[in-house]
């Protein structure tokens, strides 16, 4: 029969075993959570996703209302999936993907604030990238709600194709 004192006594072997078990459990749990949160593409045709669109001032402070004559900084985050579905199976994405991110800002009447801005980038599976552009709000701009649209394409039309199933979108106010 065991006494409570002998059952709960710790020696080096028990401490090392417990530490090893805790380390393995932590690694497994972390890997599981990361896998659950990873973006899995709906198909091989859409390896990218616009995961965030946000507005900031020039000091990178989050802001959703801007005065005429000021600068709005738009940050758009794009993530590449690690896997995609084929029937009911997952298939890994292999290698990097080049894409063109295009950001347009429009007022409530769908008139552009300026020409859309774009950049060509390359991204690896399982990573994300932030693209930032500054837009000056003219002093003659109309007040109201402005909409930011973010799309990712393989190239310009007519040969280009969408690489994300949905566009990213965000609004901000001009006062």
**Using one digit for the tens of pLDDT, what is the confidence trace for 137-159?**
999 999 999 999 999 999 998 99
85 exposure class (CB count in 10 Å sphere: 0-12, 13-18, 19+): middle
Cβ pair 42, 85 in contact under 8 A: yes
Query: At 35, is the secondary structure helix, strand, or coil?
Result: helix
> Domain 40-174 falls in which CATH fold?
Coagulation Factor XIII; Chain A, domain 1 (2.70.50)
pTM, 2 dp: 0.76
Statement: residue 125 has pLDDT above 60:
yes
The pLDDT assigned to 7 comes to: 57
Contact 119, 131 (CB under 8 A): yes
Encoded tokens for 59: 């000091």
Dump pLDDT digits (tens) for 35-53.
555 567 777 889 999 999 9
């Amino acid at each position: 029969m065991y006494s409570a004192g002998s059952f709960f006594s710790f020696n080096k072997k028990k401490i090392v075993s417990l530490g090893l078990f805790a380390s393995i459990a932590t690694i497994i749990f972390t890997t599981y959570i990361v896998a659950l949160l990873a973006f899995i593409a709906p198909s091989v045709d859409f390896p990218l996703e616009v995961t965030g669109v946000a507005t900031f001032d020039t000091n990178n402070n989050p802001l959703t209302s801007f005065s005429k004559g000021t600068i709005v900084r738009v940050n758009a985050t794009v993530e590449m999936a690690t896997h995609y579905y084929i029937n009911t199976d997952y298939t890994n994405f292999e290698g990097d993907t080049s894409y063109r991110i295009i950001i347009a800002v429009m007022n409530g009447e769908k008139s552009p604030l300026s020409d859309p801005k774009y950049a060509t980038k390359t991204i690896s599976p399982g990573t994300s990238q932030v693209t930032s552009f500054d837009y000056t709000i003219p002093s003659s701009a109309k007040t109201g709600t402005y909409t930011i649209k973010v799309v990712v394409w393989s190239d310009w039309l007519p040969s280009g194709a969408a690489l994300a199933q949905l566009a990213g979108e965000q609004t901000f106010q001009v006062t």
